[in-house]
Structure 1
Amino acid sequence: MKTINGSRLTLLLFFLIGIMACKMDDNGAPSAAVPENSGNTEPDTASTKPLGNKLRIRVGATTFTATLLDNPTVTAFKTRLPMTVSMSELNGNEKLYNFPAGLPTNSANPRTINAGDLMLYGSTTLVLFYKSFPTSYSYTKLGQVDNPAGLEAALGSGSVTVSYDLQ
Protein backbone atom coordinates (compact mmCIF):
# COMPACT_ATOMS: atom_id res chain seq x y z
CA MET A 1 0.00 0.00 0.00
CA LYS A 2 2.97 2.30 0.65
CA THR A 3 4.12 2.16 -3.00
CA ILE A 4 0.67 3.15 -4.30
CA ASN A 5 0.61 6.23 -2.04
CA GLY A 6 4.18 7.06 -3.09
CA SER A 7 3.16 6.80 -6.75
CA ARG A 8 0.22 9.10 -6.16
CA LEU A 9 2.46 11.57 -4.36
CA THR A 10 4.96 11.47 -7.21
CA LEU A 11 2.21 12.06 -9.80
CA LEU A 12 0.82 14.96 -7.75
CA LEU A 13 4.30 16.47 -7.44
CA PHE A 14 4.85 16.29 -11.24
CA PHE A 15 1.41 17.79 -11.82
CA LEU A 16 2.14 20.73 -9.49
CA ILE A 17 5.56 21.34 -11.03
CA GLY A 18 3.98 21.32 -14.48
CA ILE A 19 1.37 23.88 -13.46
CA MET A 20 3.98 26.14 -11.86
CA ALA A 21 6.13 25.92 -14.98
CA CYS A 22 3.43 27.67 -17.04
CA LYS A 23 4.26 31.32 -17.58
CA MET A 24 1.79 33.67 -15.94
CA ASP A 25 1.31 37.39 -16.51
CA ASP A 26 0.84 39.91 -13.69
CA ASN A 27 -2.83 39.01 -13.29
CA GLY A 28 -2.13 35.33 -12.90
CA ALA A 29 -3.66 34.50 -16.28
CA PRO A 30 -1.68 32.61 -18.91
CA SER A 31 -0.04 35.04 -21.33
CA ALA A 32 -0.48 34.71 -25.08
CA ALA A 33 2.57 33.95 -27.14
CA VAL A 34 3.60 36.86 -29.35
CA PRO A 35 5.95 36.26 -32.23
CA GLU A 36 9.18 38.19 -31.82
CA ASN A 37 9.83 41.03 -34.27
CA SER A 38 6.31 40.81 -35.69
CA GLY A 39 6.16 44.60 -35.97
CA ASN A 40 2.39 44.39 -36.24
CA THR A 41 0.53 46.26 -33.52
CA GLU A 42 -2.90 45.65 -35.06
CA PRO A 43 -4.85 42.55 -33.99
CA ASP A 44 -5.22 39.93 -36.69
CA THR A 45 -8.94 39.93 -37.42
CA ALA A 46 -8.81 38.88 -41.06
CA SER A 47 -9.33 35.21 -40.32
CA THR A 48 -11.92 35.70 -37.58
CA LYS A 49 -13.86 38.67 -38.95
CA PRO A 50 -17.44 37.56 -39.69
CA LEU A 51 -18.44 38.14 -43.27
CA GLY A 52 -21.68 40.05 -43.90
CA ASN A 53 -24.75 38.78 -45.65
CA LYS A 54 -25.07 41.69 -48.11
CA LEU A 55 -23.59 41.25 -51.56
CA ARG A 56 -22.90 44.06 -54.02
CA ILE A 57 -23.40 43.05 -57.65
CA ARG A 58 -22.02 45.48 -60.26
CA VAL A 59 -22.95 45.29 -63.92
CA GLY A 60 -21.37 48.18 -65.80
CA ALA A 61 -22.42 51.38 -64.03
CA THR A 62 -25.40 49.71 -62.30
CA THR A 63 -25.14 48.28 -58.79
CA PHE A 64 -27.55 45.88 -57.14
CA THR A 65 -27.63 44.63 -53.55
CA ALA A 66 -28.42 41.02 -52.74
CA THR A 67 -29.07 39.32 -49.43
CA LEU A 68 -27.14 36.10 -48.99
CA LEU A 69 -28.40 33.08 -47.09
CA ASP A 70 -26.51 31.47 -44.23
CA ASN A 71 -25.44 28.04 -45.45
CA PRO A 72 -22.18 26.16 -46.19
CA THR A 73 -22.40 26.98 -49.91
CA VAL A 74 -22.59 30.71 -49.19
CA THR A 75 -19.73 30.44 -46.71
CA ALA A 76 -17.56 28.83 -49.42
CA PHE A 77 -18.77 31.37 -52.01
CA LYS A 78 -17.74 34.27 -49.75
CA THR A 79 -14.15 32.99 -49.66
CA ARG A 80 -13.94 33.64 -53.41
CA LEU A 81 -15.00 37.28 -53.09
CA PRO A 82 -14.39 39.83 -54.37
CA MET A 83 -14.51 38.52 -57.91
CA THR A 84 -15.17 39.86 -61.38
CA VAL A 85 -16.27 37.28 -63.93
CA SER A 86 -17.60 37.03 -67.44
CA MET A 87 -21.06 35.49 -67.30
CA SER A 88 -22.54 33.75 -70.35
CA GLU A 89 -26.16 33.97 -71.50
CA LEU A 90 -28.39 30.92 -71.20
CA ASN A 91 -32.05 30.44 -72.22
CA GLY A 92 -32.88 34.16 -72.34
CA ASN A 93 -33.47 34.22 -68.56
CA GLU A 94 -30.12 33.72 -66.80
CA LYS A 95 -26.40 34.45 -66.77
CA LEU A 96 -23.92 31.78 -65.69
CA TYR A 97 -20.30 31.41 -64.68
CA ASN A 98 -18.42 28.13 -64.15
CA PHE A 99 -16.07 28.03 -61.17
CA PRO A 100 -12.85 26.08 -61.74
CA ALA A 101 -13.48 24.16 -58.48
CA GLY A 102 -16.75 23.12 -56.89
CA LEU A 103 -18.57 24.44 -53.85
CA PRO A 104 -20.53 22.36 -51.32
CA THR A 105 -24.12 21.83 -52.37
CA ASN A 106 -27.54 21.16 -50.91
CA SER A 107 -29.67 21.34 -54.02
CA ALA A 108 -33.44 21.28 -54.14
CA ASN A 109 -36.07 22.09 -56.71
CA PRO A 110 -37.45 25.57 -55.96
CA ARG A 111 -40.34 24.96 -58.43
CA THR A 112 -40.22 28.66 -59.37
CA ILE A 113 -37.20 30.76 -60.22
CA ASN A 114 -37.62 34.44 -59.34
CA ALA A 115 -35.88 37.32 -61.07
CA GLY A 116 -32.86 38.15 -58.94
CA ASP A 117 -32.27 34.63 -57.62
CA LEU A 118 -28.55 33.85 -57.21
CA MET A 119 -28.04 30.09 -57.24
CA LEU A 120 -25.56 27.32 -57.79
CA TYR A 121 -26.35 24.65 -60.37
CA GLY A 122 -24.41 21.48 -59.68
CA SER A 123 -21.33 22.33 -57.65
CA THR A 124 -19.58 24.69 -60.09
CA THR A 125 -22.11 26.82 -61.98
CA LEU A 126 -23.04 30.21 -60.52
CA VAL A 127 -26.36 31.38 -61.97
CA LEU A 128 -27.92 34.85 -61.77
CA PHE A 129 -31.51 34.79 -62.97
CA TYR A 130 -33.09 37.92 -64.45
CA LYS A 131 -36.54 36.51 -65.30
CA SER A 132 -39.08 34.50 -63.28
CA PHE A 133 -40.28 31.11 -64.57
CA PRO A 134 -41.22 27.60 -63.36
CA THR A 135 -38.44 25.00 -63.26
CA SER A 136 -37.93 21.28 -62.82
CA TYR A 137 -34.19 21.68 -62.13
CA SER A 138 -32.53 21.62 -58.71
CA TYR A 139 -30.26 24.39 -57.38
CA THR A 140 -28.53 25.41 -54.19
CA LYS A 141 -29.78 28.89 -53.35
CA LEU A 142 -27.16 31.48 -52.42
CA GLY A 143 -29.35 34.56 -52.12
CA GLN A 144 -31.67 37.03 -53.79
CA VAL A 145 -31.22 40.48 -55.34
CA ASP A 146 -33.13 42.81 -53.00
CA ASN A 147 -34.68 44.86 -55.82
CA PRO A 148 -34.26 43.17 -59.21
CA ALA A 149 -35.92 46.02 -61.15
CA GLY A 150 -33.56 46.89 -63.99
CA LEU A 151 -31.51 43.69 -63.63
CA GLU A 152 -32.57 42.30 -67.02
CA ALA A 153 -31.72 45.57 -68.80
CA ALA A 154 -28.35 45.85 -67.00
CA LEU A 155 -27.35 42.28 -67.88
CA GLY A 156 -28.41 42.66 -71.51
CA SER A 157 -28.02 39.90 -74.07
CA GLY A 158 -24.91 37.81 -74.53
CA SER A 159 -21.94 37.64 -72.18
CA VAL A 160 -21.48 40.33 -69.55
CA THR A 161 -18.86 41.20 -66.93
CA VAL A 162 -20.24 41.08 -63.39
CA SER A 163 -18.45 42.00 -60.16
CA TYR A 164 -19.41 40.48 -56.82
CA ASP A 165 -18.18 41.73 -53.45
CA LEU A 166 -19.39 41.90 -49.88
CA GLN A 167 -20.74 45.17 -48.54
Structure 2
Amino acid sequence: MKYLTYLLFVSLSVSMACKSERIINEINLVMTEPPTSVATTPKITIKIGASTFTATLLDNPTANAFKALLPLTINMKELNNNEKFFDLPKSLPTNSSVPASIQSGDLMMYRANTLVLFYKGFTTAYSYTKIGKIDDVTGLTAALGAGDVKVSFEINPTE
Protein backbone atom coordinates (compact mmCIF):
# COMPACT_ATOMS: atom_id res chain seq x y z
CA MET A 1 0.00 0.00 0.00
CA LYS A 2 2.89 2.34 0.85
CA TYR A 3 4.41 1.59 -2.53
CA LEU A 4 1.13 2.39 -4.31
CA THR A 5 0.79 5.65 -2.38
CA TYR A 6 4.39 6.51 -3.23
CA LEU A 7 3.78 5.83 -6.96
CA LEU A 8 0.64 7.93 -6.90
CA PHE A 9 2.53 10.76 -5.18
CA VAL A 10 5.42 10.61 -7.69
CA SER A 11 3.01 10.43 -10.62
CA LEU A 12 1.06 13.47 -9.41
CA SER A 13 4.26 15.40 -8.69
CA VAL A 14 5.62 14.75 -12.19
CA SER A 15 2.28 15.66 -13.72
CA MET A 16 2.09 18.90 -11.72
CA ALA A 17 5.71 19.76 -12.56
CA CYS A 18 5.07 19.26 -16.29
CA LYS A 19 1.89 21.31 -16.10
CA SER A 20 3.67 24.08 -14.16
CA GLU A 21 6.53 24.13 -16.66
CA ARG A 22 4.04 24.33 -19.56
CA ILE A 23 2.21 27.23 -17.87
CA ILE A 24 5.50 29.05 -17.22
CA ASN A 25 6.52 28.53 -20.85
CA GLU A 26 3.16 29.90 -22.04
CA ILE A 27 3.52 32.95 -19.76
CA ASN A 28 7.04 33.58 -21.06
CA LEU A 29 5.82 33.24 -24.63
CA VAL A 30 3.05 35.78 -24.03
CA MET A 31 5.49 38.17 -22.36
CA THR A 32 8.14 37.97 -25.11
CA GLU A 33 6.05 38.01 -28.28
CA PRO A 34 4.24 41.15 -29.41
CA PRO A 35 0.46 40.93 -29.15
CA THR A 36 -1.16 39.89 -32.41
CA SER A 37 -4.68 41.00 -31.61
CA VAL A 38 -3.90 44.69 -31.12
CA ALA A 39 -5.02 46.55 -34.24
CA THR A 40 -2.64 49.07 -35.71
CA THR A 41 -3.90 52.45 -36.76
CA PRO A 42 -2.37 53.06 -40.17
CA LYS A 43 -1.61 56.65 -41.09
CA ILE A 44 -1.84 58.26 -44.49
CA THR A 45 -0.59 61.60 -45.75
CA ILE A 46 -2.99 63.91 -47.58
CA LYS A 47 -1.42 66.69 -49.65
CA ILE A 48 -3.47 69.63 -50.83
CA GLY A 49 -1.36 72.24 -52.58
CA ALA A 50 1.39 73.28 -50.16
CA SER A 51 -0.47 71.85 -47.15
CA THR A 52 0.07 68.36 -45.74
CA PHE A 53 -2.25 66.56 -43.35
CA THR A 54 -1.96 63.24 -41.55
CA ALA A 55 -5.01 61.03 -41.27
CA THR A 56 -5.65 57.88 -39.27
CA LEU A 57 -7.43 55.09 -41.14
CA LEU A 58 -9.94 52.83 -39.46
CA ASP A 59 -9.45 49.07 -39.37
CA ASN A 60 -12.26 48.02 -41.70
CA PRO A 61 -12.54 46.45 -45.18
CA THR A 62 -13.32 49.80 -46.81
CA ALA A 63 -10.27 51.54 -45.35
CA ASN A 64 -8.08 48.55 -46.23
CA ALA A 65 -9.32 48.58 -49.84
CA PHE A 66 -8.75 52.34 -50.04
CA LYS A 67 -5.23 51.96 -48.66
CA ALA A 68 -4.52 49.39 -51.38
CA LEU A 69 -5.23 52.09 -54.00
CA LEU A 70 -2.53 54.40 -52.65
CA PRO A 71 -0.68 56.42 -53.76
CA LEU A 72 -3.52 58.26 -55.43
CA THR A 73 -3.70 61.80 -56.84
CA ILE A 74 -7.16 62.97 -57.84
CA ASN A 75 -9.15 66.09 -58.69
CA MET A 76 -11.83 66.38 -56.03
CA LYS A 77 -14.97 68.36 -56.85
CA GLU A 78 -16.70 70.83 -54.55
CA LEU A 79 -20.13 69.97 -53.19
CA ASN A 80 -22.45 71.84 -50.79
CA ASN A 81 -19.71 74.14 -49.43
CA ASN A 82 -18.74 71.43 -46.92
CA GLU A 83 -17.10 68.58 -48.82
CA LYS A 84 -14.91 67.50 -51.71
CA PHE A 85 -15.68 64.28 -53.59
CA PHE A 86 -14.27 62.02 -56.27
CA ASP A 87 -15.81 59.03 -58.05
CA LEU A 88 -13.29 56.19 -57.92
CA PRO A 89 -13.00 53.97 -61.02
CA LYS A 90 -13.89 50.89 -58.97
CA SER A 91 -16.20 50.10 -56.08
CA LEU A 92 -14.92 49.41 -52.59
CA PRO A 93 -16.56 47.16 -50.01
CA THR A 94 -18.87 49.22 -47.82
CA ASN A 95 -20.89 48.95 -44.64
CA SER A 96 -22.73 52.24 -44.69
CA SER A 97 -24.77 53.84 -41.96
CA VAL A 98 -26.10 57.26 -41.11
CA PRO A 99 -23.49 58.90 -38.86
CA ALA A 100 -24.58 60.84 -35.78
CA SER A 101 -22.86 63.83 -37.38
CA ILE A 102 -20.19 64.66 -39.92
CA GLN A 103 -17.02 66.28 -38.59
CA SER A 104 -14.42 68.35 -40.38
CA GLY A 105 -11.67 65.99 -41.54
CA ASP A 106 -13.88 62.91 -41.91
CA LEU A 107 -12.87 60.72 -44.84
CA MET A 108 -15.77 58.55 -46.00
CA MET A 109 -17.27 56.61 -48.86
CA TYR A 110 -20.67 57.57 -50.22
CA ARG A 111 -22.14 54.49 -51.85
CA ALA A 112 -19.41 52.12 -53.04
CA ASN A 113 -17.26 54.37 -55.20
CA THR A 114 -17.51 58.01 -54.14
CA LEU A 115 -14.68 59.18 -51.89
CA VAL A 116 -15.66 62.17 -49.73
CA LEU A 117 -13.45 64.47 -47.66
CA PHE A 118 -15.46 66.76 -45.39
CA TYR A 119 -14.13 70.15 -44.32
CA LYS A 120 -17.16 71.37 -42.35
CA GLY A 121 -19.26 69.57 -39.74
CA PHE A 122 -23.02 69.10 -39.99
CA THR A 123 -25.79 66.55 -39.43
CA THR A 124 -27.00 64.39 -42.30
CA ALA A 125 -29.59 61.82 -43.28
CA TYR A 126 -27.26 60.25 -45.89
CA SER A 127 -25.43 56.96 -45.33
CA TYR A 128 -21.63 56.73 -45.46
CA THR A 129 -18.91 54.24 -44.69
CA LYS A 130 -16.20 55.82 -42.60
CA ILE A 131 -12.61 55.29 -43.76
CA GLY A 132 -10.72 57.55 -41.39
CA LYS A 133 -10.16 61.06 -40.11
CA ILE A 134 -7.60 63.82 -40.47
CA ASP A 135 -5.77 64.07 -37.15
CA ASP A 136 -5.47 67.87 -37.07
CA VAL A 137 -7.84 69.85 -39.32
CA THR A 138 -6.17 73.22 -38.73
CA GLY A 139 -5.95 74.89 -42.14
CA LEU A 140 -8.01 72.22 -43.94
CA THR A 141 -10.77 74.58 -45.11
CA ALA A 142 -8.25 77.10 -46.43
CA ALA A 143 -6.22 74.38 -48.18
CA LEU A 144 -9.27 72.93 -49.93
CA GLY A 145 -10.52 76.34 -51.07
CA ALA A 146 -13.86 77.11 -52.70
CA GLY A 147 -13.64 75.09 -55.93
CA ASP A 148 -12.32 71.83 -57.25
CA VAL A 149 -8.88 70.84 -55.94
CA LYS A 150 -6.07 68.36 -56.61
CA VAL A 151 -5.53 66.06 -53.61
CA SER A 152 -2.86 63.38 -53.12
CA PHE A 153 -3.24 60.46 -50.76
CA GLU A 154 -0.28 58.27 -49.85
CA ILE A 155 0.71 55.84 -47.16
CA ASN A 156 2.55 57.68 -44.41
CA PRO A 157 6.29 57.03 -44.83
CA THR A 158 6.57 56.03 -41.14
CA GLU A 159 4.11 53.14 -41.63
The TM-score with structure 1 as length reference comes to 0.68
8 Å contact 1:111–1:136 — kept in the other structure? Answer: no
Cross-structure match for 1:59? 48
Whether contact under 8 Å (1:68, 1:74) holds in the other structure is: yes
Residue 66 of structure 2 aligns to a residue whose secondary structure is helix
Q: CA deviation at 1:105?
A: 0.3
Q: Does 1:85 align with 2:74?
A: yes
Equivalence for 1:128:
117
The percent identity for this pair of structures is 57
Shift of 1:111: 2.4
Distance 1:95 1:115 in 2: 11
1:81-120 alpha-carbon deviations (Å, 9 max, x no partner):
0010000000000000000110000001112000000000
Residues 85, 163 of structure 1: 8 Å contact kept: yes
After TM superposition, the runs of 4+ consecutive aligned structure 1 residues lying more than 2 A away are none
1:100 and 2:73 aligned: no
TM-score (norm 2): 0.72
Residue ranges of structure 1 left out of the alignment (5+ in a row): 1-50
Flag structure 2 segments of 5+ consecutive residues without an equivalent.
Answer: 1-39
CA contact (8 A) 2:87 2:113 kept: yes
Q: What is the number of equivalent residue pairs in this alignment?
A: 117
Question: Structure 1 counterpart of 2:142, which letter?
Answer: A
Residue 83 of structure 2 aligns to which amino acid in structure 1?
E
In structure 1, which of residues 102, 121, 140 is the aligned counterpart of residue 129 of structure 2?
140
Counterparts of 1:147 and 1:79 in 2: how far apart (Å)? Answer: 23
Once the two structures are superposed, residues 36-64 of structure 1 have per-residue CA deviations (whole angstroms, 9 ceiling, x without a partner) of: xxxxxxxxxxxxxxx96101000001000
Greater percentage in helix: 2
Kindly indicate whether the alpha-carbon contact (under 8 Å) linking 1:90 and 1:96 is maintained by their aligned counterparts in 2: yes
